[in-house]
């Protein structure tokens, strides 16, 4: 079950809980007022219609069940987050400043990382690198993206369905031009040109997409090659794990 689905269930149950609790309060006040009226009129308390007791019991039972469901969902979300956060990220995965990488009891922090709230976190945007430190302990570092750009790479060629990293260089009304510098986990010796067409940005709502709302020059994007050759490649970001991984603001700064 995804986090979005969990939140959806949580909000649904919580809304039901608020409704049931409110109705319980209304019935409780009504019952109290009815009893006061009976006392003033010197009537017996059992003059309160028995059917209303059943309704009140059903509402109160519903309130208890709603409380239990809210508690279960809250604990489930908390456990899900804790479990997900405790899993160390994999080598080569891109991270942004402040993003948790690994618990401090699983490794030591190297260059490009900081220790905060019992986690090793990225202090710069880049790629995770794992190695052994001088004491032979497992060390996690982050290699800056700019270092990846200037490092001498391989002569690998992009292929269809390959996952690539690229820098957006130009925006047009119906497409974005991207310079590809990483194919898979390999830094390219030279950059290749790629194009993200407006119909390849998202899998849905293609008719309402505006390319400048998704990309800016200088953005680093993760995309999949759909087709092309060495002169130019068509790229797609129409999956949940694809898209902008390092964004620039409107002034072009990171």
The pLDDT of 13-29, averaged and rounded, is 66
Poorest-confidence range of 73-82, 91-100, 109-118? 73-82
pLDDT of 109 higher than 80: yes
Q: Place 252 in a pLDDT band, splitting at 50, 70 and 90.
A: very low
Poorest-confidence range of 14-23, 128-137, 227-236? 14-23
pLDDT of 27 higher than 50: yes
Q: What is the mean pLDDT of the chain?
A: 74
- Contact by Cβ (8 Å): 163, 198: no
Q: Which residues of 239-249 are buried (b: 16+ CB within 10 A; e: fewer)?
A: eeebbbbbbbe
pLDDT of 228 higher than 50: yes
Would you say the pTM of this structure is higher than 0.75? no
Q: Place 38 in a pLDDT band, splitting at 50, 70 and 90.
A: low
User: Which of the pair, 121 or 82, is modelled with greater confidence?
Assistant: 121
Residue whose C-alpha is closest to residue 198's, from 162, 234, 232, 244: 234
pLDDT confidence of residue 145: 67
Q: Which residues touch 16 (CB under 8 Å, ≥6 apart)?
A: 62, 66, 69
pLDDT of 223 higher than 90: yes
State how far the Cα of 38 lies from the Cα of 46, in Å rounded to an integer.
9
- Contact by Cβ (8 Å): 125, 145: yes
> In sequence order, what DSSP letters do the residues of 97-133 get, joined into one string?
TT-EEEETTT-EE-TTEEEETTEEEESSSEEEEEEE-
pLDDT confidence of residue 28: 62
pLDDT of 162 higher than 80: yes
pLDDT confidence of residue 91: 79
User: Which of the pair, 145 or 99, is modelled with greater confidence?
Assistant: 99
pLDDT of 163 higher than 70: yes
Most confidently modeled of 83-92, 128-137, 191-200?
Answer: 191-200
């Amino acid at each position: 079950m995804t986090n979005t689905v969990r939140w959806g269930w949580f909000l649904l149950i919580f809304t039901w809980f608020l409704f049931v609790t409110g109705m319980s309060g209304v019935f409780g006040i009504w019952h109290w007022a009815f009893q006061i009226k009976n006392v003033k009129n010197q009537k017996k308390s059992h003059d309160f219609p028995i059917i209303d007791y059943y309704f009140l019991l059903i509402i109160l039972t519903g309130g208890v069940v709603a409380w239990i469901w809210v508690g279960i969902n809250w604990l489930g979300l908390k456990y899900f987050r804790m479990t997900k956060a405790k899993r160390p990220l994999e080598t080569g995965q891109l991270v942004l400043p402040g993003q948790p990488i690994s618990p401090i009891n699983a490794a030591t922090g190297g260059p490009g990382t900081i220790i905060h709230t019992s986690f090793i976190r990225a202090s710069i945007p880049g790629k995770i690198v794992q190695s052994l430190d001088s004491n032979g302990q497992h060390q996690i570092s982050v290699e800056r993206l700019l270092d990846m750009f200037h490092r001498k790479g391989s002569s690998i060629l992009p292929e269809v369905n390959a996952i690539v990293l690229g820098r957006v260089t130009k925006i047009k009304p119906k497409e974005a031009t991207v310079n590809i510098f990483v194919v898979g986990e390999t830094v390219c010796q030279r950059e290749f040109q790629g194009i993200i067409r407006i119909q390849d940005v998202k899998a849905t709502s293609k008719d309402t997409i505006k390319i400048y709302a998704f990309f800016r020059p200088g953005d680093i994007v993760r995309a999949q090659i759909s087709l092309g050759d060495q002169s130019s490649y068509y790229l797609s970001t129409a999956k949940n794990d694809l898209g902008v991984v390092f964004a620039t603001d409107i002034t072009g700064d990171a």
